Amino acid sequence: MLLLTLSLALAGPAILRSDQPEDYAELGVSEEVQAFEDGMRSSGRRGSVEWWYVDAHLDDGSTVVVNFLTKPIMRRGEPLHPRLELTVTEADGTAHVAFVDFPARDFAASTEGCDVRIGASYLRGDLAHYVLHAEAEGLSVDLTLERVVPSWRPDAGVAYFDEKKRKQLGWVVAVPHGTVRGTVRIGDEVREVTGVGYHDHNWANLAIERALSHWYWGRAHTAEYTLLFVDAYGQRRWKRDRLSFLLLAREGEILVGGGADMVTHAEDWRVDPGGREVPGRLMISVPELSVRLTEPVLLEREDLLESLPQPVEGVLKLFMHPWYFRFEAEMQLGYGLGPARVEAEGEAIFEYMLFR
């Protein structure tokens, strides 16, 4: 008991939110998201990592996920080491995955807005409209993404992991929900597609695996509602503190934009083919809102140590083994109280990231 008390007493500060007026001023942002926030926010050099993420639910039942990274998350300490991640999952569950590393000279990104390029692939946009081209290993997607729900971020968009606010993890959601149109090519087959999409942007100058133990993130859309949530749990050094945010919008109007009182519960845990436990159901609730995600279908699983040199990978596995899982799931949503409460159903994409 004495050792436990001492360890808690020596623990670092809780995670700090950027919810004060001085935080907005220091970061140069206002309540409304600005185009530069989707531009490059890190140096790209050693100690930083940054990524631009896009996913799309297509009307033919398939999904597309594209990620532009300055480097793999677990290689933050290295110089610029760009990576393109492209996954196309067909309606029958067949997944086509291409994760490709590029030399630093093949990366470029603007600080004024979203204009990021890795090799021949690029993502360009101004918050309202985006053009995506991604190609790798026999796959290619060409999509336009038109924003429907206003751009959003929690607070001023940054969480701090030290009292001097030098260690930062940033997040801005440029397109919480939008419409998608374009083409998908798998080998020699090219098809026209339409659907709905999402785009967000993250950056960090700290070792995320040391700051967080795990997180849940997800997004969903019904005929009327758009849902977005994240629930991230700090390591012991940060007193197991949580970063919980939730967005609910209806037809372009944001109804809920908080989440500090969010409750997340995962259950029906099962063992995935790689031997890791993953949730079979996920429930999220805040006052007046309940969400239930069920019947998850695995879209992607990634061993985050796999990209490291083998000797380093072997040593790190003695202390941690980070894994990333992305699922498609059925969603049931309830919003409101009494006779005014509405129920809705739709499809969701959610991820489970664990660093332990």
Is residue 149 within 8 Å of residue 226, measured between CB atoms? yes
Write phi, then psi, for 4 (nearest 5 degrees).
-65, -45
Residue 300: pLDDT band (50, 70, 90) is confident
| The pLDDT value given to residue 12 | 54
Collect all residues with Cβ–Cβ distance below 8 Å to 62 and sequence separation of at least 6: 88, 89, 90, 91, 184, 193
**303-346 tens-digit pLDDT:** 756 665 555 444 444 455 678 898 999 999 999 888 889 999 99
**149-166 tens-digit pLDDT:** 999 999 999 999 988 899
Q: pTM above the 0.85 mark? A: yes
**84-111 tens-digit pLDDT:** 999 999 999 899 999 999 999 999 999 9
Query: Hey, what are 230's tokens?
Result: 């994240």
CA–CA separation, 47 vs 265, rounded Å? 33
